[in-house]
Amino acid sequence: MRLARLFPVLDWGRQYNRDTFTSDLIAAVIVTIMLIPQSLAYALLAGLPAEVGIYASIAPIILYAIFGTSRALAVGPVAVVSLMTAAAVGEIAGQGTADYLTAALTLAFMSGAFLVLLGIFRLGFLANFLSHPVIAGFITASGVIIATSQLKHILGIPAEGHNLWELVASLVAHLGQVNWTTVAIGAPAIAFLFWVRKGMKKALTRLGIKPRLADILTKAGPVLAVAVTTLVTWALSLTDKGVSVVGEVPQGLPPLTTPSWNPALWQELLVPAILISIIGFVESISVAQTLAAKKRQRITPDQELIGLGAANIGAAFTGGYPVTGGFARSVVNFDAGAETPAAGAFTAIGLLLASLLLTPLIFFLPKATLAATIIVAVLSLVDFSILKKTWEYSRADFIAVLATILVTLGFGVELGVTSGVALSILIHLYKTSRPHMAIVGQVPDTHHYRNVLRHDVITYKSILTLRVDESLYFANARFLEDKLQAEVAANPDIRHVILMCPAINEIDMSALESLEAINEHLRDMDVTLNLSEVKGPVMDRLKRSHFLDELTGRVFLHQHNAVQELLKPPQTMPTYDI
């Protein structure tokens, strides 16, 4: 049973039969066709040789099939992680050098190891730090940067930059050198791929082709673009006219590689590795959850961390780079009917064959075609509507999104995502640092106590009752201190303070010490501190401290009871004098 949890393959593997095999095989063929151009393109985006994209899709898929819990997730290179890899590794080595390759492998290994650690220690909750709006903003901004960065391949000019402005400036500076032959390939490729996405399926069905076949043909659209532009480039010898092509791609199995163990390199890659892991995980788990729901299946987040981690470690030892569960490929896999992770394994075999047999054919594949594939893919990720949505729904979230987008565009991906995370935590702590509190009074003829600002209630000059509608912890403990001190200093008639606690689920050590300070301050002002309607678990914990011994007032089960007791003339109250 426990082994089955670590190796979900033992679970679905037992029920594997001919039907599922057929479904999986068909899905694998479709996904393989789709993955070939995409993998080459994303490797290029990451600044790596094209074949690295294929390598990064083989071992990781198999490892995920063994350790992952999603039945349909397809793991491999994706756009945003490729961009982040380029940003991180580009800081360390020049593109095309052996160091660049090693750094990418190391990044994959570190990111894999980090994910596995998170999984083992059940720290998947860390991914929650990335709020949805921050992710949406980050992905949109990354999409803009990626699309812009690929324009150089379409225009056939060099352009470099770590952020949008640098990229645009660099593109503009080189505008005079545009290679129009390259544009003549890239621009139609973009147009065609957009049509593939938006209109091809409809057009094919209108021509009488069956929907299922039309679907498969549509998915093969990018392969068609690759084939046609490669052929044209070869036939017309366009390389002589300055069209960049993929060139020599080694034919063979993925190489066995090892990451670097150099501590200095590890230190430099630490932050990017963490960010890539978390962003990859968040993207992957959202996809996995969406697909699992469609079949009432369950995925286990902590096991997903181990699955993704294993995939990345696998990438590190087989010439790949950081990978994650991609949205597009997973949906295709699911729609194509994949029933089990075996579909992934078959895809891996397909890609293995491709890397063994097909690589000579892509010598003349223009980089412009790959860039077109990327541009069309990422523009579907760009969605500024999150700004409008958050503006309408919650200003706090709007600020976090806006900051994420602007910082990502202006200062790059790493700073963008960290500032988004930091800002949303800050905003959250700010909001909970001022919890809702109400001064309450008795609703006439009842035992209910309600907010004095909203209801006509009975209050007494000598008693102040404050209801706190949030757990007390370090971020809001001082606020309660300030609030009480201000109220009591302003109303010299107050003799008793009652804290009404039905909504307090927790009191941490800071809040306990604040309560002790409040108790002491109130004692100095000759005011007693009382509690009412304290929840059981909170009371249990308070009993473990000295607070209740030092409390100047009492703890009441019911608010009404508290008021009645405290209203009695002082001589009937037990005092130290008696």
Give the x/- contact pattern for its own copies in 487-506, rule: CB under 8 A: -xxx-x----------x-xx
Instruction: Please report how close the Cβ of residue 125 comes to its own copies at its closest, in angstroms.
Output: 4
Which listed residue (19, 445, 482, 577) binds its own copies by CB under 8 A? 482
Please give the residues from 117 up to 176 whose contact with its own copies meets the rule CB under 8 A: 125, 127-133
Instruction: Please report how close the Cβ of residue 358 comes to its own copies at its closest, in angstroms.
Output: 37
Which listed residue (448, 450, 455, 541) binds its own copies by CB under 8 A? 541
- Residue 157 or residue 278: which is nearer to its own copies going by CB? 278
* Pairing between β-strand 449-451 and β-strand 496-500 as defined by DSSP bridges: unpaired
Instruction: Please report how close the Cβ of residue 159 comes to its own copies at its closest, in angstroms.
Output: 30
- Beta bridge mates, 440: 451
Q: Which stretch binds its own copies (CB under 8 A): 57-65, 262-270, 445-453, 481-489?
A: 481-489
- Residues 329, 20: contact at Cβ < 8 Å? no
3-state secondary structure of 439: strand
Instruction: Please report how close the Cβ of residue 546 comes to its own copies at its closest, in angstroms.
Output: 9
* Pairing between β-strand 555-556 and β-strand 528-532 as defined by DSSP bridges: parallel
3-state secondary structure 506-545: CECHHHHHHHHHHHHHHHHCCCEEEEECCCHHHHHHHHCC
Which listed residue (510, 539, 552, 561) binds its own copies by CB under 8 A? 510
- Element (H or E) spanning 324, and its range? strand 324-325
Instruction: Please report how close the Cβ of residue 94 comes to its own copies at its closest, in angstroms.
Output: 27
Is residue 115 near its own copies by the rule CB under 8 A?
no
- Residue 38 or residue 277: which is nearer to its own copies going by CB? 277
Q: Which stretch binds its own copies (CB under 8 A): 30-38, 242-250, 409-417, 541-549?
A: 541-549
Which listed residue (151, 187, 517, 539) binds its own copies by CB under 8 A? 517
3-state secondary structure of 298: coil
- Residue 536 or residue 570: which is nearer to its own copies going by CB? 536
Distance CA 430, CA 400 (A): 13
Which listed residue (11, 248, 493, 520) binds its own copies by CB under 8 A? 520
Instruction: Please report how close the Cβ of residue 559 comes to its own copies at its closest, in angstroms.
Output: 18
Instruction: Please report how close the Cβ of residue 292 comes to its own copies at its closest, in angstroms.
Output: 7
Is residue 425 near its own copies by the rule CB under 8 A?
yes
- Residues 43, 53: contact at Cβ < 8 Å? yes
- Residue 392 or residue 577: which is nearer to its own copies going by CB? 392
Distance CA 420, CA 400 (A): 6
Instruction: Please report how close the Cβ of residue 242 comes to its own copies at its closest, in angstroms.
Output: 44
Distance CA 385, CA 113 (A): 36
- Residue 59 or residue 527: which is nearer to its own copies going by CB? 527
Q: How many CB atoms lie within 10 A of CB 2?
A: 6
List Cα–Cα distances, 307 to 66, 75, 270, in angstroms. Answer: 8, 10, 21
Which listed residue (172, 231, 458, 486) binds its own copies by CB under 8 A? 486
Total residues at interface with its own copies (CB under 8 A): 72
- Residue 6 or residue 425: which is nearer to its own copies going by CB? 425
Instruction: Please report how close the Cβ of residue 513 comes to its own copies at its closest, in angstroms.
Output: 4
Is residue 473 near its own copies by the rule CB under 8 A?
yes
Residue type, 395: R
- Beta bridge mates, 467: 438, 500
- Residue 247 or residue 492: which is nearer to its own copies going by CB? 492
Please give the residues from 352 up to 391 whose contact with its own copies meets the rule CB under 8 A: 389-390
Residue type, 552: T
- Beta bridge mates, 498: 465, 530
Distance CA 60, CA 57 (A): 6
- Residue 431 or residue 447: which is nearer to its own copies going by CB? 431
- Residue 429 or residue 573: which is nearer to its own copies going by CB? 429
Which listed residue (198, 298, 447, 558) binds its own copies by CB under 8 A? 298
- Cα four-point dihedral sign 80, 82, 84, 86: negative
- Beta bridge mates, 555: 531
Which listed residue (220, 266, 474, 538) binds its own copies by CB under 8 A? 474
Nearest to 131 by CA among 406, 400, 409: 400
- Element (H or E) spanning 4, and its range? helix 2-6
Which listed residue (318, 514, 530, 559) binds its own copies by CB under 8 A? 514
Please give the residues from 193 up to 212 whose contact with its own copies meets the rule CB under 8 A: none
- Beta bridge mates, 530: 498
Please give the residues from 250 up to 289 whose contact with its own copies meets the rule CB under 8 A: 285-286, 289
- Residues 196, 228: contact at Cβ < 8 Å? no
Give the start-end residues of each E strand in 188-230.
none
Which listed residue (24, 268, 397, 533) binds its own copies by CB under 8 A? 397
Please give the residues from 431 up to 470 whose contact with its own copies meets the rule CB under 8 A: 431, 433-434, 436, 469-470
CA angle 174, 178, 179 (to 5 degrees): 145
Instruction: Please report how close the Cβ of residue 552 comes to its own copies at its closest, in angstroms.
Output: 13
The tokens of 506 are what?
A: 């927790």
Nearest to 547 by CA among 517, 506, 574, 521: 517
